[in-house]
Structure 1
Amino acid sequence: MERRDRTLALSGLNFHVTEWGDEAAWPIVMLHGIRGFAETFVEVAKALQPGFRVIAFDQRGRGATDWDPQHNYYTDTYVADLHSVVSHLGLQRFDLLGHSMGGINAIVYAASHPQQVRRLVIEDAGPGAFEASDGATRIRKEFATTPHRFDSWDAASEFMRALRPTVREEARQQRLRSMLKESPEGGFTWRYDHVGIAATRLNPDTSRAVDLTPHVKAIDCETLVVRGGRSDYLQPEMVAHMQALNPRIEALEIPDAGHYIHDDQPEQFAQAVSDFLRREEQETTKEVDR
């Protein structure tokens, strides 16, 4: 599978962008979660070949993208960053997928740019999940208790196994390779801005909080919400509420998956995404067959 990496200078920061697939194919942009990275979507990108140009980028403060010295890690800024990336790449219309924090950003963007987003996939995110779920409590606790550095790779691996017990070891190691770097003090430290992101998550500016409800109502494209059957973040009643708000929203639950569906059940998640995005092509084929 063809892969391309580039750096875009936008809004005073350097953004690392990764693409998979034919550059002339239909584009889909993918947004990772709060401590994620572009590479997390590689298996989904493979499942969408051929036929899709998959574009993912390390959002500010993560991966190979610059950290924000002002700790400006809020939804409005992430959405503005997405708009800058899309504009720079010259994308007029595309599909959009987001996980967790990326899902929040994707909802707001799709609602604000209905002419650009053809189809929307939300992985385990929605109104109430960020504020009031057990998963939100877990994430805040993790930010408060995560070590700044590790003495060894084994120590980091042990920490990640305790943090993500249901995730495949291969996925955990991939995550660590993308999330850690050698520390000047020896051992390893985080590649993402743990201090800045934690400060924003634990002590946010409440005036910049986003109410997702009006944005969910405003979505004007076909939308698929995918929930992990064991997720502690997006609850079934939250999904039902989203569908009540907007009839264009479909829902799918993948059993034996937690909040990180694309890590816990990568094949099922990739198949669900592929089926949804290729639906028109499939229906057209059926009409021809008749």
Structure 2
Amino acid sequence: MSIGQKGHDVQNTGDDHFVDIKGMQFHYVTWGDPSLPVLICLHGLRGYARTFDMIAHKMQDRCYVVALDQRGRGDTDWDPDRNYYTDQYVSDLEAFIDALNFKRVHLLGHSMGGANALMYTGRHPDRVVSLILEDSGPGAANPGSAGVARIFEELKKTPMAFSSWDEAEAFWRTARPNVSDAAIASRVKNSLKELEGELVWKHDQAGIAACRISPADGRGAPDLWPSVDRVDCPALILRGAKSDYLKLETATAVCERNDRFAMHEIAAAGHYVHDDNLTDFMKVVDPFLEENAGR
């Protein structure tokens, strides 16, 4: 494994880096002082590292914030074998944390990233200082919920290219009608690139959709309840009050099963919690990190 820095993107906060893991180049962004406690942020299914731009600068006074482009997303390499499954994401995270020589970390994960963070914590409870799940929990990704049905439809109907930035912006505004203008601008800028006169996805849209809609045998959404049982650090589960993805009953059951978890509903937020209501998101996350960053 080798680590290299790409440099600073003057149009955004944070510094861009690359690390080689098992022959793939992984991109990540950092904010703050490397001597501070490490907070690793993991995005959702079609997300990217810089989705955490809006919150990283609010947390960098107490944490060294590290946001990873998971395989097939952002500026990280695509997997030619389309291995976009939870066990592989967690294996990547294990290798990433070891490559950067992080001994103990705080984890924050949204949706798919939350599942990956939870499974990592279950595997390595001694290395995780605190855990934050953003609209993510056991069974949330299983077929049957309105949120999963919505995501499947999005994956099936998403265009592979756009003819203009305005067209791309209109797509994202239709797909995410409730998120802020800043969140839409972030998606347009960070999820697309120009190629041969068109705008195409940075993420492996076709590969990710195939794995999510028609997973290989035995490689669908994993059972995360055993991971919940093994969490032995302070943990938050944050549910958007209007979420169609994570059920209130599930979030409540997590806390009943493991009293290390505390659940908060974020008002006026759906599945994309920090994009929908950043102010109330930070009202919960900020004191949680302040209390636990020094542990």
TM-score normalized by the length of structure 1: 0.94
1:218 to 230, 244, 251: 230
The CA distance in 2 between the partners of 1:222 and 1:73, in whole Å, is: 29
**1:139 alignment counterpart:** 151
Residue pair 1:153, 1:187 contacting (<8 A) in 2 also = no
Offset at residue 174 of structure 1 (A): 0.8
Residue pair 2:74, 2:190 contacting (<8 A) in 1 also = yes
CA, structure 1 residues 40+281, in 2 after alignment: closer, same or farther (shift >3 Å)? closer
**1:287 alignment counterpart:** none
The CA distance in 2 between the partners of 1:59 and 1:3, in whole Å, is: 17
**1:288 alignment counterpart:** none
The CA distance in 2 between the partners of 1:17 and 1:163, in whole Å, is: 26
Offset at residue 281 of structure 1 (A): 7.4
The CA distance in 1 between the partners of 2:253 and 2:15, in whole Å, is: 39
| 1:149-170 residue CA offsets vs partner (Å, 9 max, x unmatched) | 1111111111111100001112
**1:254 alignment counterpart:** 266
Residue pair 1:47, 1:271 contacting (<8 A) in 2 also = no
Offset at residue 6 of structure 1 (A): 1.1
The CA distance in 1 between the partners of 2:293 and 2:252, in whole Å, is: 28
**1:26 alignment counterpart:** 37
The CA distance in 2 between the partners of 1:152 and 1:4, in whole Å, is: 28
1:207 is paired with a residue whose SS is coil
The CA distance in 2 between the partners of 1:44 and 1:57, in whole Å, is: 14
1:267 equivalent in alignment to 2:273: no
Stretch of structure 1 that moved more, 101-110 or 217-226 = 217-226
| 1:138-183 residue CA offsets vs partner (Å, 9 max, x unmatched) | 1011000101111111111111111000011121011111001113
Structure with greater helix percent? 1
The CA distance in 2 between the partners of 1:222 and 1:133, in whole Å, is: 28
2:174 to 162, 175, 183: 162
Offset at residue 189 of structure 1 (A): 1.0
Residue pair 2:254, 2:261 contacting (<8 A) in 1 also = yes
Amino acid at match of 1:156: A
Residue pair 2:241, 2:270 contacting (<8 A) in 1 also = yes
1:56 to 67, 75, 89: 67
1:130 is paired with a residue whose SS is coil
1:82 equivalent in alignment to 2:103: no
Amino acid at match of 1:91: F
| 1:261-282 residue CA offsets vs partner (Å, 9 max, x unmatched) | 1111112212321111112579
Amino acid at match of 1:220: D
The CA distance in 1 between the partners of 2:218 and 2:23, in whole Å, is: 24
| 1:223-253 residue CA offsets vs partner (Å, 9 max, x unmatched) | 1000001110001111111112211110000
**1:174 alignment counterpart:** 186
The CA distance in 1 between the partners of 2:203 and 2:293, in whole Å, is: 39
Offset at residue 2 of structure 1 (A): 7.0
Offset at residue 11 of structure 1 (A): 1.8
RMSD over equivalenced CA pairs, Å: 1.6
Offset at residue 206 of structure 1 (A): 3.5
CA, structure 1 residues 199+124, in 2 after alignment: closer, same or farther (shift >3 Å)? same
1:208 is paired with a residue whose SS is coil
The CA distance in 2 between the partners of 1:229 and 1:135, in whole Å, is: 13
Residue pair 1:43, 1:270 contacting (<8 A) in 2 also = no
1:236 equivalent in alignment to 2:251: no
Amino acid at match of 1:170: A
Residue pair 1:97, 1:121 contacting (<8 A) in 2 also = yes
**How many residues of Structure 1 are paired with residues of Structure 2 in the alignment?**
282
Identity rate, percent: 44
Where does structure 1 differ by over 4 angstroms across 4 or more consecutive aligned residues?
none
The CA distance in 1 between the partners of 2:55 and 2:37, in whole Å, is: 15
Amino acid at match of 1:122: L
TM-score normalized by the length of structure 2: 0.92
